[in-house]
Amino acid sequence: MKRILINIALLFPVALLLSCGGGGGTFTTGDPARAGFDAARLQRVDSLMAKYTREGLMPCVVSFVARRGQVVHHAAYGFKDAEAGVPAAVTDIYREASQTKAITAAVLLSLWEENYFHLDDPLKLYLPAFANPRVRVSGSVETGDLVTRPAKRDITIRHLLCHSSGYGYGAFGEDLRVINYPDPVETAEVVERVARTPLMHDPGENYTYGFGLDIAGHLAEVLTGKSLDVLMRERIFEPLGMNDTHFYLPADKRDRLVKMYRRDTDSTRCYPEPDVLEQTYPLATNQPYHGGGAGLCGTIGDYAKFCQMILDKGVFNGRRVLGRRTVELMTANHLATSRASRQYGLGMGIIADGDYPANIMSPGTVRWGGAYKTEFLIDPKEEMIILMYVNMTTFHRPALYNRFLASVYQAMQ
Backbone dihedral angles phi then psi of residue 199, each to the nearest 5 degrees: -80, 155
* Angle subtended at Cα 193 by Cα 188 and Cα 198, rounded to the nearest 5 degrees: 135
Q: Is 37 exposed, middle or buried (0-12, 13-18, 19+ CB in 10 A)?
A: buried
Q: How far is CA 175 from CA 142, 168, 353, 369, 372, in A?
A: 13, 14, 40, 25, 22
Q: How far apart are CA 317 and CA 32, in angstroms?
A: 20
Whether residue 59 contacts residue 259, with contact meaning beta carbons closer than 8 Å, is answered with yes
Which of the following is catalytic: 101, 253, 305, 373?
101
Q: How far apart are CA 363 and CA 145, in angstroms?
A: 44
Q: How far apart are CA 339 and CA 335, in angstroms?
A: 8
Which of the following is catalytic: 169, 209, 271, 409?
209
Whether residue 295 contacts residue 278, with contact meaning beta carbons closer than 8 Å, is answered with no
Q: How far apart are CA 344 and CA 149, in angstroms?
A: 27
Q: How far is CA 340 from CA 19, 256, 333, 351, in A?
A: 40, 40, 11, 14
2 belongs to the catalytic site? no
341 belongs to the catalytic site? no
Which of the following is catalytic: 80, 94, 98, 407?
98
152 belongs to the catalytic site? no
Q: How far apart are CA 400 and CA 377, in angstroms?
A: 15
Long-range contacts of 405-408 (CB under 8 A, 24+ apart): 405/359, 405/360, 405/361, 405/377, 406/360, 407/42, 407/44, 407/45, 407/48, 408/42, 408/45, 408/65, 408/73
- Length reported for the chain: 413
Backbone dihedral angles phi then psi of residue 284, each to the nearest 5 degrees: -60, 145
> Which ranges in 135-211 belong to alpha helices (H)?
157-161, 187-195
Contacts of 211 (CB under 8 A, 6+ apart): 167, 168, 169, 176, 194, 293
Whether residue 282 contacts residue 95, with contact meaning beta carbons closer than 8 Å, is answered with yes
Beta bridge pairs of residue 316: 319
- Which are the catalytic amino acids? 98, 101, 209
